[in-house]
Amino acid sequence: MEQRALGASGLSVSPIMLGGNVFGWTADARTSYGILDAFVAAGGNCIDTADVYSAFAPGNEGGESEMILGDWLTKSGKRHDVLLATKVGALDGEGGSGLKPTRIAAAVEASLRRLQTDVIDVYFAHRDDPGTPLEETLAAFDALVKAGKVRAIGASNYSAARLSEALAISDRNGWTRFTVLQPHYNLLYRDEYEGPLRELALAESIGVVPYFGLASGYLTGKYRTPGDLSGSRSRAANSHMEGKGPAVLAVMDAIAAETGASLPAIALAWLREQPGITAPIASATSTAQVGELIASATLTLSADQSARLTAAGR
C-alpha cells in the first residue's frame, strides 16, 4: 500500500488510518488484536486513538483503547511497523483539565505507559481549550518534542482562526508547530473543513486526517429506515436519515453497482481524493470490515462518480 507524506511532519502514512475509538468499547481486546493484525498485514501503518477512549462506554474510565493498543504492540512486536497518534484535552485527570501545561505533562506520561512505548508519533490537542492561553499550551507541546517524547503535534477540532493564531505563535517563538489537522469531515458534513480551514491547511502544508469519515456508520448503508436504528452509533446515524442523507446513499448505491465496491470503500475513496486530505480515519469492529477500509485505499473513482457524490452531499 502506498504511503503519503503527513504534511510537514516528516512522517509518512498509509492512505487510510485505523481508528482506535472502538477498542475497549464495541471491540473487546481479542477482537481488537485481530483487527490490528489484519490492518498491519494489509499494509496499514497508522493507528489513531485518544486518552479519553473509551470513557463514554459504561464502566470505563478512559485509557482503555490505549491499554489494548499497548498490549498488542508488546505482544506482536510491531511497534516499529506503525505510527501511533493519540490525543490530550478531553479527559480530565492528574494536572487538571483541558490543555493546561500541567495536564499535558501528566497526560503524556499516562499515555506512554498505557501504550507501552517511549515516544508518541503524533500527539493531538483533542479540542481547542479557550480557557488556556495558546502560548502555554504550545510551549508545553514544544517541550515534549524537545524531550523526545513526541515526534509531531496536531490539532483536532480547531477553527481556522485559532489554528492560524497557534501557527503564528509557534513561529514567533521558534516552537514546534501543528503539522497535522484532524477535523470532522465526510460526504454529509462539509462546512467545517471546506473553506478557510482547508485553505489554511493547504497553504501551511498541514496534513489532514479527518474523523467520522463514515458519518457514524450511516455511509455504510446500514441505517436506511427507523427500523434499522440499533447499536452504539444509531443515534448519531439517525440525524442523517432526513435531508441529503438518502440522496447520497442513492448515488453511492449506483456507484457500487458500477464498480462492485462497497459503500464504505466508496465514501472513504471520495474523502481521500478531496484537496488537502492525507488519509481518512475509520474504525472497524471485525476483520471483514478492515478489508473494506483497505479496499478504499486502492479504489479510484471516475471524475463523474466523484462529481455526483460531491453534488449529492452539498
Q: Can you read off the three cell numbers belonging to residue 179?
A: 503539522
Q: Which residues contact 83 (CB under 8 A, 6 or more apart)?
A: 11, 13, 45, 46, 47, 121, 122
CA distances from 90 to 1, 96, 198 (A): 33, 11, 24
Interhelix angle for 303-312 vs 245-259, to 10°?
160
What's the half-sphere exposure (Cβ side, CA atoms, 13 Å) at 52?
A: 13
Query: What is the Cα–Cα distance from 155 to 128, expressed in whole angstroms?
Result: 8
Continuous segment of H or E residues that includes residue 115: helix 101-115
- The residues that are catalytic are 53
Question: Under a CB-based contact definition with an 8 Å cutoff, are residues 7 and 56 in contact?
Answer: no
Q: Distance (Å, rounded) from C-alpha 19 to C-alpha 276?
A: 20
HSE-up of residue 151 (Cα within 13 Å, Cβ side) = 16
Do 296 and 17 contact (CB within 8 A), yes or no? no
For residue 280 the three cell numbers come to: 481518512
Contact 268, 214 (CB under 8 A): yes
CB 278 within 8 A of CB 3: no
